Amino acid sequence: MSKKIFSGVQPTGNLHLGNYLGAIKNFVSLQKDKQNNCIYCVVDLHAITVKQDPKILKKNIRETTATFVASGLNPKESIIFNQSMVPSHSEGAWLLGCVARMGWLNRMTQFKEKAGKDKEKASVGLYIYPILMASDILLYDATHVPVGEDQKQHLELTRDIAQKFNLDFDCKNFLTSPEPLIQKDFSRIMSLKDGTKKMSKSDPSDQSRINMTDDKDLIVSKIKKAKTDSAKLPENDKDINNRPELKNLYGIFSSIQNQALDLTIEEFKGKNFSEFKNKLAEALVEKIYPISNETNKLLNDEKFIDQILLDGSEKAEAIAKKKVNDIKNIIGF
Ligand code: AQP
């Protein structure tokens, strides 16, 4: 069955291994199925929900686009664009924001985590972030949204908004309720410094993540320094419980090698940590370094990157504008 796929990545800094294994790798395999219509967005409007330096934001938009392409997304097969060039996303967010309920937004854990203790100082944009995300998805009638585990709640909110709109305006099935596509295994890659914290662009420590632009030496040194415990390598999957750092590194190895966790446990049973870390670093250099090398090459040609975004935005706006007009008609404008 053909699927309409929509997903986005924020240009809030260097993309990292978590973004790649949790999202982009999946984007590329969905593109391979010729029956799918794929739309991938650099969600720069989402990025400004927290403070961004204008010059760095511009650089990050290009870098995220270059990483998409270097990872295997093809602008001839998928629509690749940035959100701020398609005004319908913001317009749709206003229209849908009038359908969404405060109580729904108050439950969003990402806002709670990102706003921290001082919620009064968080931007209004951060609070209504999930409404913009709903607009991104619903304007394209997306049927499936590949995301990491952390975005599941926002997807549920998108479904609630779609259902309430269809009910309120008596237009059954007008807005499509999307299904999340979350990888069963290794859907949450954790920090290399703390196995209980998500690998994240905004972590102040660069040692906590493998960036998609890191060179070979940096990848190897970050894996060597990654936090581990002092127990021996596991004999079975029970030995892995309560060892968050080990579990994360085994998860990364399994995901990068496309193999089940059991096989990784078997492969390193009885061996020592340094042997495992060497193999992990080798596997990462083999799979990630070609992407980082290609990303850096693409970034030398800003015009090429900007043209991809311009072409993609024109295609996206044609679809999104029509849906916004339909929504406005239904509402009574
Ligand atoms: N650690 C992760 N493990 C698995 N998937 C992840 N994703 C992000 N971090 C991990 C997935 O990558 C996609 C794009 O994420 P995003 O950049 O739009 O937002 P985010 O989840 O807020 O990512 P970061 O790195 O944590 O950014 P900052 O630090 O700026 O907030 C999403 O599908 C996400 O699930």
pLDDT at 187: 80
Give the Å distance between the CA of 16 and the centre of ligand 1.
9
pLDDT at 40: 98
Q: Is residue 200 part of a domain?
A: no
Give the Å distance between the CA of 309 and the centre of ligand 1.
21
Distance CA 163, CA 149 (A): 22
Q: Is residue 194 part of a domain?
A: no
Q: Residue 315 corresponds to which amino acid?
A: K
72 and 180 co-located in one domain: yes
Could you confirm whether 164 is annotated as catalytic?
no
CATH number at residue 238: 1.10.240.10
pLDDT at 296: 92
pLDDT at residue 153 greater than cutoff 90: yes
Place of tokens 């291994």: 17
Q: Residue 71 has which token pair?
A: 């990872």
Q: Is 35 within 8 Å of 155 (Cβ atoms)? A: no
77 and 181 co-located in one domain: yes
The mean per-residue pLDDT over the stretch 225-244 comes to 90
Q: Is 64 within 8 Å of 13 (Cβ atoms)? A: no
Residue 118 pLDDT level (bands cut at 50, 70, 90): confident
Q: Residue 92 corresponds to which amino acid?
A: G
**Residue of 83, 133, 150 best suited for mutating to test ligand 1, as the one with most atoms within 8 Å of CB:** 150
The chain-wide mean pLDDT, for the chain, equals 95
Q: Is residue 196 part of a domain?
A: no
Q: Is 216 within 8 Å of 282 (Cβ atoms)? A: no
Q: Is 146 within 8 Å of 5 (Cβ atoms)? A: yes
Atom of ligand 1 minimally distant from the CA of 19 = 12
Q: Ligand 1 pocket by C-beta < 6 Å: which residues? A: 9-10, 12, 18-19, 22-23, 147-148, 150-151, 187-189, 198-202
141 and 76 co-located in one domain: yes
Q: Is residue 195 part of a domain?
A: no
325 and 280 co-located in one domain: no
Atom of ligand 1 minimally distant from the CA of 199 = 1
CATH number at residue 16: 3.40.50.620
- DSSP character string of 188-213: SPBPSS-TTSB--TT-S-GGGS-BTT
The mean per-residue pLDDT over the stretch 124-142 comes to 98
pLDDT at 15: 92
List the catalytic residue out of 114, 227, 287, 321: 114
57 and 174 co-located in one domain: yes
Helix (H) or strand (E) holding 321: helix 302-331
Beta sheet of 144-146, edge-to-edge order:
79-82, 37-42, 4-9, 144-146, 179-181
164 and 82 co-located in one domain: yes
Place of tokens 């990303």: 295
**Residue of 6, 152, 200 best suited for mutating to test ligand 1, as the one with most atoms within 8 Å of CB:** 200
71 and 23 co-located in one domain: yes
Distance CA 3, CA 98 (A): 28
The mean per-residue pLDDT over the stretch 185-214 comes to 92
Interval 2-45: pLDDT, tens: 899 999 999 998 899 999 998 899 999 999 999 999 999 999 99
Q: Which domain holds residue 283?
A: 206-297
172 and 316 co-located in one domain: yes
Q: Residue 332 corresponds to which amino acid?
A: G
Ligand 1, atom 26: nearest CA belongs to which residue? 200
Could you confirm whether 198 is annotated as catalytic?
yes
Q: Is residue 167 part of a domain?
A: yes
The sign of the CA dihedral 246, 252, 255, 259 is: negative
pLDDT at 110: 93
51 and 168 co-located in one domain: yes
pLDDT at 6: 98
Look at 66-70, 116-120, 155-159, 162-166 and tell me which has the smallest mean pLDDT. 116-120
pLDDT at 238: 84
List the catalytic residue out of 4, 25, 198, 247: 198
Distance CA 25, CA 20 (A): 6
Distance CA 17, CA 282 (A): 15
pLDDT at 103: 97
271 and 138 co-located in one domain: no
Distance CA 258, CA 252 (A): 10
Q: Is residue 193 part of a domain?
A: no
Ligand 1, atom 33: nearest CA belongs to which residue? 147
Q: Is residue 277 part of a domain?
A: yes
Ligand 1, atom 25: nearest CA belongs to which residue? 200
Residue 79 pLDDT level (bands cut at 50, 70, 90): very high
Give the Å distance between the CA of 304 and the centre of ligand 1.
26
Q: Is residue 197 part of a domain?
A: no
Residue 211 pLDDT level (bands cut at 50, 70, 90): very high
Helix (H, G, I), strand (E, B) or coil at 16: strand
Interval 93-106: pLDDT, tens: 999 999 999 999 99
Domain tally, the chain: 2
Could you confirm whether 328 is annotated as catalytic?
no
Q: Residue 291 has which token pair?
A: 């992407």
111 and 142 co-located in one domain: yes
78 and 133 co-located in one domain: yes
